[in-house]
Structure formats: structure tokens, C-alpha cells
Amino acid sequence: MFRRIGSAVVRHPVWTIAAWLIAAVAIVATAPSLPSTSDESSFLPKSYESIKAADLQEEAFPSAFTPSAIALYQRTDGGKMTAADQQDVARITTALGKKNIDQVQKVVPGQPSEDGRYALTLVQMDSKNAGTPKQADAAKVLREDVKELAQGTDLDVKLGGSAAQALDQQDSSKRGEALIGIGTFVIILVTLLIIFRAPILAVLPLILIGVVSAIANGLIAYATKLFDLQANSSISSILIVVLFGVGTDYFLFLIFRYRERLRAGDEPKQAMVNAVARVGEAIASAAGAVIIAFLALVLSTLGFLKQMGPALAIAVAATLVAGLTLIPAVVSLIGPKVFWPSKSWQREPENARFAALGRGVQRRPALTAVVSGLVLLVLSLGTFGYKATFDLASGSMPKTKESMVVQDEMQKAYSAGAAAPTDVYLSSTDGEPLDKAAFDTYAKKLGAVDGVASARMTQVNKEGTTADFTVTLQYEASTDKAIDAVDRVRDVAHSDAPEGTEALVGGMSSIYKDIDTAVNHDYRTVFPVAALLIMVILGLLLRSVVAPWYLIASVGLGFGATLGATVWIFQDGAGHSGLMFMLPVIMYLFVVAIGTDYNILMIARLREEAREGREPREAANMAIKHAGPTVAAAGVILAATFATMMLAGNSLLTEMGFAVSFGITIAAFVMAMFFTPSLTALIGHAAWWPGHGDRAEPAADAGSGTAPVTSGAEREAAAEDPAGRRR
């Protein structure tokens, strides 16, 4: 099949390129804009208690005041507020309410702090648009207006709250995206120049992947609108890295094999056909494993991951099609001039370092397997210290952003949980009015829960069937202590609810608790399903039942090593309270799926060498010698491109960038280079059971019109005389 694809593309390169350009223009011109939200509650399905509580609040208290933005005032000299200062705050609050800013429904004064140094203005916005760009725009106007109104006073004012966080997250994401894009571009350009010493080859993948990126983003926008998926600003940054990192990987897989065929004496166009024929299956299988792993995210209960899965799968699918059609068409059209001005493509390199590594694995496969396995196992011990943090807003922007400064100052000035109180909604089950006499007792029981600062009944709906109890926790909403406390609040709220009533617990800590539950569900479903489907891909590629087991086990060890190292670096080293809650899921999919790419490339080359009649240990030697440079180059570029995410300046992308780049380094330089080939050499022919994937292939058909495709090792053997001496 891949030979037919290569032949068709090489025969009609201009038509292939034209088809891609037409598709790019059509899709980009007609694609809808990609929606985005930073509202954590929108990531959860309706079945979770926090979402049921939010829906009940909308129904029972449609005019309830829930601040979306908070203006925090303090004197410029840091002293206590004076009477004049309080008058200025009241004036500013009234003036803001009269401005009729879009999305703003109500502006009211908040409680001053107990020490008298802080005052608040609370702004309520349309809850239906929580976390959307509309509210970010409203926050921008509010921030400008409140600062303008405070001019000429002794007050310093900052705007925080969820709407301001959405604005700052949006700005931070744009800056991070630009840095990641520039960093990715420079890394790929410089690395390819070093590898090939050919400017055309350095620039070409950036141009081609840019076209693929435009098409992929358009297709993702279509899919997001068609299936009503949630989008998040972090997805754009991840997409840049995936498209350029994975796209460059597939470009390298193809170019290395194209160069090898040219060195073997193939005519240029036939060299590309043979390259696609041989490496096409490995690229397709590698991409298939990545796509399957990403699509497994649709089983997630979190809207963020449900969106990310299909988006990344579409991106990789577009990259795969480009790798088999667009890249071969363009390179075959340019021909060997693509390597200009370098002449090194004309001669076979000695690959001395990789040849030495290959010989080492051939001589001592057991020692190699044990040492590389121990490295992975020791690093995996760090996973036992893993803790999760759930504040997506602060995790996705620097602490210096204004909304984050407000959050930190409010925690010091007020009760830590005051900025995001927990609400317990007590409702009648029979539709009759609630017994108000039971309210005080119920509030006292809630207030007595460990970790609760205060609890009081704040309002009853007009029918008298639902009461709202505001519970202020002693801890900031996203901390582990707050999540544990809200779990205890739920237990008491449910068990001590008066007869004939039921309770629902809402608020941000309740949402984080449900996100924690959802992530744990994803660990139990997404991980095994992704692993099983990748094993199916490996089994189909290798026609083996045995090999997929140890291949997926090695990648699983790579995941453990990556998570363990990330815990040691960020929790123990940098002092982070925990890692972002979705990091293990994302890490698992990137490290397992993309790490499998290198295993596939190495095992496919090892099988190819075995089919040339070599014994398992010798085949492992030659596979490392000839596929090692490709895996090393691809691993360095992909790890470096993911590392650019650390330039974004926020903990989420910093942790993600380090984890994935470290995982890819482990996958390329430990698993694919040592662990997988040494295990395959040890297991021997049994690795291919029940098929015979390592058996020699029959000679090419005489009438096929194609030269037999030989490996680099076979050419070496052909270059020797019967006595074993070089000609």
C-alpha cells in the first residue's frame, strides 16, 4: 500500500502540492473561530454534585449575588483606611455601577477587612458566560475604569476574581504562545541545520508543517463546533508543539531513509518511492498509536481533556497524511538538491558512536536491559510523592499577574476561603416549605466541621423550598486542605440534613473535589484503554502477541520515570505544593504515545535487519547503528520543542514542558536505544510469536520494476569480499 502511495505522489508531485494548498485556503477561509473558556465548572458533566448545586442555585436564586470580579483597595502607604478613603471607595463603587458595562449586572460594596486596611467592590456578571472572552473583555474595561476613578485618591486598586483571571490567562496565553512558537521555530531550524548542513532541509519542514498547522486548526475548529466541545487557551500552545514536533519527527524518518536509498544508488524519484514504501508503515503505525491514545481522551469526564483528545488526534492525522503525501511530493520535486550545499549525503557515514552502542547491546543484552531498566525503575520511585493541585487559573499564568496578586492579598487580608465560599443548598424533597426552626441547628453542625471558619444561613427562595447556607472555609479554595474540608462538609450536609430535605454542596472547592474524582476516574479508564489500543496497533504492525507486551511495559516504565523525576524537580526541588491535576493524564498520553513512535521505528528496523537473515543479537546491533541516528535526531528535536513550553512563564506549561521533554528523552535514549533492542535480542525469535515477522522476505518480483530494497547493513555485507575484507 505504501509503495503505491509513494508511486502516486512521486508521479504527480505538482497535483499533490496543489491539492494541499487548495485545501489549506478553503479550510482556513471557512473555519469558524475556536471558542475558549477558563471556567473550571464547564469541564465537568452535569452528574457531579457541584454542577447540580450550580444549576439549583440558578433555579432557586436567579438573582443571587455571585461576584465575577473583585476590586481590592488599599492605601498607597499601606496604612489603615480613613473615613475619606471609605468615601472614595463608595464613590467608585457607585460610579462603576452607573457605567452599564457589558456583562455587568450588579456592583455592590464588599466587607472591609478586619484589620481595616482593605476594602472591596464586588461585581456580578452574567453567569451563563463565565470564563468566556466576553467576560474577559468586560474585566478589561472594569480594570481600566476602576483605576481611572481611583486617580487623585490615596488608594491603590487592583482587579481580581474569575473574570479578571480569564483576562490575565488570555494575555498570558498569547505571550506564552508567541514564545513557544518562536522557540519551536528556532530549535527546529538550528537543529536541522546542524544535522544536514542544508538550508533548504532546515526551512522546508517549517513551511510544510505551517501549511498542515493551518489545515489542522481549521479542522479542529469545525470539530469543536460540530460536537459542541469545550476549548481552553492552553490547547493552542500544546497544538503548536505537537504539530511542529511530531511533524518534524515524521519528516526526519522519511528524509533519513530517502538519503539512505540515494546512497544505495537509487534514481532520485525511485529513492523516494522506496523510502515511503519502507518507512511508511512505521510512520503510519507510530501516528496510529498517537491518534488512538489521544482519542482515548474522549472517555474522560473532563471537558478540557475531551476537547484536547480529538484536537490533538486531528493534528496528528493531518501530519501523518502530510508525511506520506505532501513531504514526499515536495522533496521528490526538488530532488537531491534538497541537500545543497552539503555533499555528505553522497557517502555512507560510519555512525561510529551508534555502531559502538549496537555492538555493546549485541555483546551484553542482559546487562543493557538490567541497567536501563533499573534507571527507569529508580526514577519511578518519585511517583509515590505525587500530589495534585487544582487551581487551573493560577497554574496557567504567572503569580505576578494582577488577578493573582489580588488572590494572594485577599487570602492574607480575609479568611483564606472568603474569596470563594462554599454554598450548601438545602431543599425540600416534597415541595413543601422548609422548617426554618431547623436552620440554626443545621448551620451549627456545618460550622463545627473541621476546616470550616464559619457557616450561616444567608437566604431562602421565595417559595421557601430551598435555603442557602454560606460556609467559609479556613483554606484557599484550591488547596488540598480545602478539598478535604469540603468533602467533610458534604458528609455532614448529607447525613444531618433534616428529614424531608436533601442537600447539595456547591462552590469552587466543591468543583475542585469533583475534578479530583473525575481525574481519578480517568486514570482508571483512559490509561488502560489507551494502553490496550496501542498494543493492538503494535500487534498489527509486528504480527506478534509477545512484542507488544514488553514494548508497552517499557513505555509504562518510561511514564513512571517521567512522573517521578517531575515530582522530585518541582515538588521536592522547587517547592510546589503539587503538580497540576491533569499533568499525569497528558504526560501518560504524550510519553506513551509519542514514546511508542521511537520504539516502533527501532523495532521495525530491527525486524527489517532480521529479515535479511541476521540472528536477533546481530539484528539489534545493526538496528541501533542505522536507526539510532534517526531516533536520536528526532528525540532531540521533539524534546527541545516541548521544552519551549517552559518559556510560557506559568506553572502548568512549565511542568508540562519539562515532563514531556524529559519523557521523550527517556523514550528515545533509554527505551528505544537500549531497553527495547536488548530485550528483543534476549527474547530472540520468540518475540515474533505467533507470526514470523523476523523471517527473511522473498526476493522482489522480477517484473515489479523496482530494485530490491536493502538495508544499510546489507550494503556493508555486499561491499566485502568472501574473505571478509573491504574492497
The predicted-structure confidence for 655-692, as pLDDT tens digits, reads as follows 888 998 999 999 999 999 999 999 999 998 888 888 66
Q: What is the pLDDT of residue 333?
A: 92
- Least-confidence region, from 29-33, 504-508, 515-519, 603-607: 29-33
What is the pLDDT at residue 617?
A: 93
d(CA 313, CA 332): 28
54 vs 395, residue with greater confidence: 54
Q: Which residue has the cell 501530519?
A: 319
d(CA 52, CA 64): 16
At 662 the pLDDT is 93
Highest mean pLDDT among 159-173, 283-297, 683-697: 283-297
Helix (H) or strand (E) segment spanning residue 208: helix 199-226
The alpha carbons of the chain give a radius of gyration, in whole angstroms, of 30
Of 93-97, 300-304, 451-455, the poorest mean pLDDT is in 300-304
Are 473 and 509 contacting, i.e. CB atoms less than 8 angstroms apart?
Answer: yes
pLDDT band at 134 (very low <50, low <70, confident <90, very high): confident
pLDDT at 510 over 50: yes
Please identify which residue in the block is written with the cell numbers 472572552.
Answer: 133
The whole-number pLDDT of residue 52 equals: 93
Among the listed ranges 7-16, 599-608, 703-712, which one has the minimum average pLDDT value? 703-712
Whether 417 has a pLDDT exceeding 90, the answer reads no
Question: Average of pLDDT values for 530-553?
Answer: 86
Q: How far apart are CA 229 and CA 78, in angstroms?
A: 46
CA separation for the pair 484, 490 (Å, rounded): 10
Please state whether the peptide bond connecting residue 341 to the residue before it is cis, i.e. omega within 30 degrees of 0.
Answer: yes
DSSP H helical segments within 402-438, as ranges?
Answer: 402-413
Q: What is the DSSP letter of 647?
A: G
Q: Residue 719: what pLDDT? A: 38
Residue 727 pLDDT grade (very low, low, confident, very high; cuts 50, 70, 90): very low
- Each residue's pLDDT tens digit, 47-74: 899 999 988 988 888 766 678 899 999 9
Structure confidence at residue 478 (pLDDT): 78
In contact, 533 and 294? CB cutoff 8 Å: no
Q: Contact, 505 vs 486, CB < 8 A?
A: yes
The answer to whether 76 touches 158, Cβ cutoff 8 Å, is no
